[in-house]
Amino acid sequence: MAAACTGDGVSLAPATTTAPPAEGVPWSQALEVAATRRGEYREVVAASNDAAGAVLSEQWIAYDLDVPYVDRSIAVHIDQEDEPVTPTPTRDNPSLRYIYTGDTILMWHPNAAASCGTPWVDMPPELVAAATGVDADALQGLEPLEILQSTTDPGPPVETDERGSVYSITAPGTTGLALSILVSHPELADSLAAEERTAEVRVPRGDGPVEIAIDLTDVMADVAGTTAHRPGLHPGSC
């Protein structure tokens, strides 16, 4: 209790305390994650950033840069008519899966078995380029790691709480967009490549993943429906 004198009497009032501000989590922790040679991450494209936002697609990427090895499982949750896909694709039962090991690219697609006798198809780099319009090396890129590595000093965090610290950094304009969108809309891809967008990076306090959030609302409005397309199997890829 603290005593405060008021004239001839004494008034007692409870002492007030202010909790010290949470200590910021250093950006160096994000750089340590980005330097990891082996790990995995999950990428989500949602209609909004709140809990009720519909998830349009997910990717689970496991990698080992020393092999090299990249395992990319893709779950598309909205079909071409914007209706939910049933049964819901998961990591263990994806819509599409790619495994990259150096010059070898294997693709898993549920419809491949009918024409190829197996859901797994060998996709040589030249066939990948012909089918997607994208160089095979681009498919092995690990975008979140590249984003973190591009910024050595983001300045002070814009927010710090018990969960960790949030930093605001710049990222290429095409960040977060599926390659299918960039291939289907080359003019949009070119214009976005010359732009930058803001990424908010939450560096966790203690154990936990680094989280990167980017608002793609403006871009998705231009390509509405494109990300809903189911991944296709290029003819003659058996």
> What CATH code is carried by the domain that includes residue 78?
2.50.20
Instruction: Give the domain range for residue 108.
Output: 26-228
What is the rounded distance in angstroms from the CA atom of residue 218 to the CA atom of residue 220? 6
DSSP 8-class letter at 210? -
Please report whether residue 5 resides in a domain: no
CB 43 within 8 A of CB 59: yes
Residue among 36, 76, 48, 22 at smallest CA distance from 225: 76
Please report whether residue 7 resides in a domain: no
Please report whether residue 6 resides in a domain: no
Residue-wise pLDDT for 85-96, tens only, equals: 668 889 999 988
Residue-wise pLDDT for 194-221, tens only, equals: 889 999 999 999 889 999 999 888 777 7
Sheet with 55-64, edge to edge strand ranges? 38-46, 55-64, 69-76, 96-101, 104-108, 120-122
- 237: phi then psi, degrees, rounded to nearest 5: -95, 5
Could you tell me what percent of the chain has a pLDDT over 90? Answer: 35
Please report whether residue 206 resides in a domain: yes
pLDDT at 132: 63
**Is the pLDDT assigned to residue 73 strictly greater than 60?**
yes
Please report whether residue 104 resides in a domain: yes
Residue-wise pLDDT for 98-156, tens only, equals: 899 887 889 888 888 888 889 998 988 787 777 666 677 777 789 999 999 999 999 99
Please report whether residue 203 resides in a domain: yes
pLDDT at 174: 84
Please report whether residue 9 resides in a domain: no
Number of domains in the chain: 1
